[in-house]
Amino acid sequence: MFQIKWLWENLKGYRAVYIAALCMTLTCQSMYIIIPHYSSRIVDEYIYGENAAENLATNPNGLVALVVTMICFTLLRTIITYSSGICYEKASQGIIYRVRNYLFANVQKQDSDFFDKNRTGDLMTRLSGDLDMVRHSIAWIIKAILECVILYTASVIFFFSIDWLMALCMIALTPVIFAITMGLKKVIGPKYVEQRDKLSAMNTGAEENISGNRVIKAFAREDYEQEKFERQNKEYSAANKAAALLWLKFFPFIEVTAQGLSVVQLLAGGLFVISGRITVGEYTAFSGLIWTMSNPMRMLGNIVNDLQRFVASLNKIIEVYYSRPLIVDRVDAVDKEGRFKGAVEFDNVTFSYNKKNPVLKNISFKINPGETVAIMGPTGSGKTTLINLISRMYDVDSGKVMVDGENVRMLKLKQLRKNIGVASQDVLLFSDTIDGNIAFGNSSMPEEDVYNYARLAAADDFIRKTTDGYDTIIGERGVGLSGGQKQRISLARALAVRPAVLILDDTTSAVDMETEKYIQNSLKSLDFSCTKIIIAQRISSTKDADKIIVLRDGMIEDIGTHKELISRDGYYREVYELQT
């Protein structure tokens, strides 16, 4: 019932259309008994009855009227069926359009922890294949259920109106069909859940393979990846076959029982005609409507089959639909409009990803507005995690992270993140123009500003040498650009939002020393005040910082200037001696 309630809630705006479609289906299915009714009259009154010849001679117009009426009802039923189909499609496409937009928007709001737990391929499956199954269910399964119920009910009522004993004979096999179908329902559900999970795993593998194609080629692992995908495809195929074969095991029993109605109708109907219990016309009516009982019985298995697939897909969609981020604006959040000053403070901060093994332990330091602070430490010391806490990509386990004297938990997320520019270590560029990537934070930015930020990031020269300059389309994830070029475009993008806090996560690791020097000079002469936090492993990137924080094993090992740190033993001095 919960699934039906969810569908009804999301049909808002299309409920009238959908109800109209259901009403048309009800009307159309009820009309199927009209043709056999008139067929029965034609047989009894004009073909086989005692007064057939007399009626045909004295009242031929009556026969014409009956035939014309049958034709008109058939045309009317066709028009209603066509109209209901349009309404079903309009409603189903409308709900899926809305839900897909909502799901995408909801995914965008999720915390980093959500993406750590959910694979890209799985989310793509929910936004595509699972949603299409829901659309199919709204447009076909619910309609098919209603058709079967109305058609069967109308036929039973019509049969009882003719002869109750013949009607009982016709519905005798219904409990058998129902029992077989319920048996199918119990075992088919888990099969479709497994099938859907295998599809998700295969899509994830394909997505990772395509996005990591260059790495695969670099290591000549095409054969390995092909075998891996083939294995996933085989598992998905096996899950498909298991579900299909299970259905096929039940299908013969359903089909034989449904076809048994013809035998019942032939034997019982023949005996009742011979005994005079029913007329030939009434027998013709029973014969003309036998499909209205056998077809719903036959369809019941298919409906249950698709209904289980629908439930498996819908449950996956609902998981994302009702997912809520934990990192949100508080009700009493501070409304801090305008540009921040850029003061950053960590007060006894401890953080862990799994709430068990701390990545950062008791971190405390202060950064004044406009200062340049470098963070250095061995791999895995928690440098990137530390800067992610400033923009609340994650929330601390204990302690406080403050910006401009306010706990970041008390600041509105949009205001906080608009004041922080990040050029990350893992550069992600969108399939857009270079201009569009640099102006990503402000799409209405004048072109001259885009050129200026590109010059500050030492990117202008190489951009102008590309095929179409700033209008050059960058391939997915920046394909076609070197690592250093991507880093410089990423830096220009971070500068373009004129942030109060600029975070550079190993941003110049792939550029040459001359370009690095140019970028450092540019950052010193920005035309806006900016606190700079630089994560780097090069001494050349850190030596001019106002303060250098050295992390080791998630704790602060030392804090000081370049001169202070090289004057005493520690990680920084070791790196300095190795590099010089």
Q: Domain ranges for the chain, please list them.
A: 2-321, 339-419+536-580
pLDDT of residue 476: 61
pLDDT of residue 480: 67
Any bridge partners for residue 524, and if so which?
A: none
| Intervals of the chain under pLDDT 50 | none
In CATH, what number does 2-321 get?
A: 1.20.1560.10
CATH topology agreement for domains 2-321 and 339-419+536-580:
no
pLDDT of residue 214: 64
pLDDT of residue 369: 93
pLDDT of residue 510: 65
* 383 close to 554: Cβ distance less than 8 angstroms: no
Instruction: Name the architecture of domain 339-419+536-580.
Output: 3-Layer(aba) Sandwich (3.40)
Sign of the C-alpha dihedral, residues 74, 75, 79, 82?
positive
pTM, to two decimals: 0.73
Radius of gyration of the chain (CA): 36
DSSP strand pairing (398-403 vs 372-376): unpaired
- The phi-psi region of residue 40 (left if phi > 0; otherwise alpha if psi is between -120 and 50; otherwise beta) is alpha
Give Cα 250 to chain centroid, integer Å. Answer: 33
